[in-house]
Amino acid sequence: MTEIGPTREPAGVRVGVVAAGMAGTLAIVIATVFGLYGFYRAGAPSASFVPPRNFPAPQLQTQNDGVRETTIAQQQARLKTYAWIDRDRGVVQIPIDRAMALIVARGDKAYDPIGGPSGAAQP
């Protein structure tokens, strides 16, 4: 076995070749950076950056075309009427005031399930 000595690299490593390779790699990186910079300047010669702006504040619809009033009237009417939701299963829509009165009348059991184990409504 041959003694390498106090140096870390083997005797066959040529430092000049390694240094030349590192210098070549650095030259290629520098050339690439300058090439990309030149390409950018050629593609966007008068690049101007627009300063950021704040978004405008949200605005409410100011046109009074009666759609809002009509929609509210329809919703209010639905809250005050009886209607069948599913006649086969016996599901009925009742006025909101009546529904709230029924819940209040249940007292402490207001949050208990309404239907039985089969999902059918209890009397």
Structure tokens, 87: 């006649």
Which residue shows structure tokens 């070749």?
Answer: 17
Above pLDDT 90, what percent of the chain?
A: 40
Element (H, E) at 8: none
CA 20 to chain centroid, in Å, comes to: 51
User: pLDDT, tens digit, for every residue of 73-120?
Assistant: 999 999 999 999 999 998 999 999 999 998 899 999 888 887 654 545
Which pLDDT belongs to residue 12? 78
Element (H, E) at 100: helix 96-105
Which pLDDT belongs to residue 74? 93
Structure tokens, 67: 């759609």
